[in-house]
Chain A
Amino acid sequence: MAGEGFHAGFEDLRRRDGGALAVLDIDGGALLTRDDLARRIDHAAAVVRDVAPAGGVVPAWFGNSAELLAIVFASWREGRIPMPIDRERSEAEVAAISRSLGARGVVCDTSWTVRPSEGNSATAIPRDTAVLKLTSGSTGEPRAVAVSESALSHGVAQIVSTMGLRAEDRNLVTLPLAHSYAFDNVIGVLATLGAPAVLLGDLIPRRLRAVLADSGITVWPAVPLLLDVLSRSSARGAAALGALRLVVSAGAPLPATVREAFAKRFGLRPRTFYGATECGGITFDRVGEADLPDGCVGTPLDGVRVDLVDENEGVGRVRVRSASVATGTFPVASPEISEASLLTADLGRLDAAGRLHLVGRAVDFVKIHGHRVHPGEIEAVIRRVPGVRDVVVVAQARSDVVEGLRAVVAAAPGVDREEILRGCEASLPSYKIPRSIELRDELPRTSRGKLDRSRL
């Protein structure tokens, strides 16, 4: 059965050393040994059995917590399929995706409430699925990526081998465990190596630095935003990060300026990691050179092969072949996934040293808070606001490391920003709401009537 190997692996680790640290929840002030986590898993098992029949989906709409880990492990033990969902998703999205996968309920982090989702068992998820990871389909709707036990275990092994992770490592968790990156690097590594997870929600730079310095953290799967604020924060204090030996950066491009500012300040250079929900890790900066150019994401992970499709002057769509590629997506299939191969949404080129350089996207989407956001979904929502004639949503840099959304709206006189915002708030989660809304009489068009993006 799917995922049971992961629970069995953790049980082995617990039998060997039940007193070893498993989870340190800093905001919650809780320290759990493997034995403690096993007791939480026992408790979570009853909830899991209540939410889903054997082989069914357990949607877990949770913030980072020991309870989320317990739900995932309990789902594995009980032969159910965990589907961790980021707290940032809206209730409507959670309900829609859960229903479409035939889930009977959703487990929420407020006192383990089970919300009915009136699912039916129409969608058949492959029986060897160990986890469903949420991503966005081409029209923006959430889509579940089914990762088999074999793919997940290969994916985790590739990361462990390429990054040189060890059982003694201690992972700092500052991004949602529901994200594929954190799921593999933290839950996967806890289940297979026993490396404990330190959970921290308070990301104020000074607090983050204190925790890094004092909590025995050795590995930090980070995002560029946090590396940027940490190296810019001028708050007094020693520029030392304790036992930290590896800082990984993923989720968004890491500009060389941000990378080098961090390296200069803390004497440790962040390493770029590139991956996709549908296949796990793809490439990693194994070397950590100071002159790695922007866009270079390193070489393929151990066991991963990368090539380019529809190549033109050395640039093509990045294709990944790996035993870690997902089985498929549900409820809508994704043509990009076939037998152990994924066609990503990214354009890249390979250099003589075998390093991959990302140069753009083959598919129109924007990365916001680590989520793929498709402008078309937001445009459709704004178009429904009375008086709106036309709209285009584009990416707008908020800083060197953060992308935001900007809507340019052609509307009848009298339609204001507030009305458009209200329309967005009614059906979109906060991260999909444009930060900037500009009202114009008409959208700029070229003489041929095409949208003139240069004048947006």
Chain B
Amino acid sequence: MDRIQIAKRAKELLVEGLRLEISPDEIVDSEPIFGEGLGLDSIDALEFVVLIEEQFGVAIPDENAARKAFASIDALADFIQSERQAAAG
């Protein structure tokens, strides 16, 4: 799965998993996922962490790492890609 596919799948998970009433295409890759914009709260954040862990086989160690990885879809795709490369290599 390349970075573009990772970003696309992450947006689908966000919309399906959190039952949002928008289309994945409406999520801007460079904008914040939590805190503003999509109106998601801490419960959504926890749910999304678990979905990403399940789907991509990566581990989010703590809140600091989560804050960085979940800053935007761009940041998340970078994080997932580098974790998967590290695991494979």
Contacts and interface: CB of A to CB of B under 8 A. Distances in A.
Nearest to B63: A202
B48 to A, nearest CB: 10
Given A204-B60, A204-B66, A229 B50 contact: yes
Contacts of B66: 204
Given A202-B63, A206-B62, A235 B53 contact: yes
Interface in B43-69: 43, 46-47, 49-50, 53-54, 57-63, 65-66
A205 B54 contact: no
A204 B46 contact: yes
B50 A233 contact: yes
B19 A234 contact: no
Contacts of A233: 49-50, 53-54
Contacts of B41: 430-431
A108 interface: no
Interface residues of A, number: 27
Interface in A406-443: 421, 430-431, 433, 435-436, 438
Interface string B20-34: 010000000000000
A202 B62 contact: yes
Given A232-B54, A235-B53, A430-B41, A206 B46 contact: no
A398 interface: yes
Nearest to A421: B39
A206 B60 CA distance: 7
Contacts of A201: 63
Contacts of A236: 59
A198 to B, nearest CB: 16
Contact of A225 (B18, B39, B46, B65): B46
A207 B53 CA distance: 13
Contact of B59 (A206, A226, A402, A421): A206
B47 A229 contact: yes
Interface of A: 201-207, 225-226, 229, 232-237, 369, 398-399, 402, 421, 430-431, 433, 435-436, 438
Ranked nearest first, the 5 interchain pairs of A and B with the lowest CB-CB distance are A235-B59, A202-B63, A207-B62, A229-B50, A232-B50
Given A229-B50, A235-B53, 15 more contacts: A203-B63, A204-B60, A205-B50, A206-B59, A206-B60, A206-B61, A225-B43, A229-B47, A233-B49, A233-B53, A233-B54, A235-B58, A369-B43, A398-B18, A435-B39
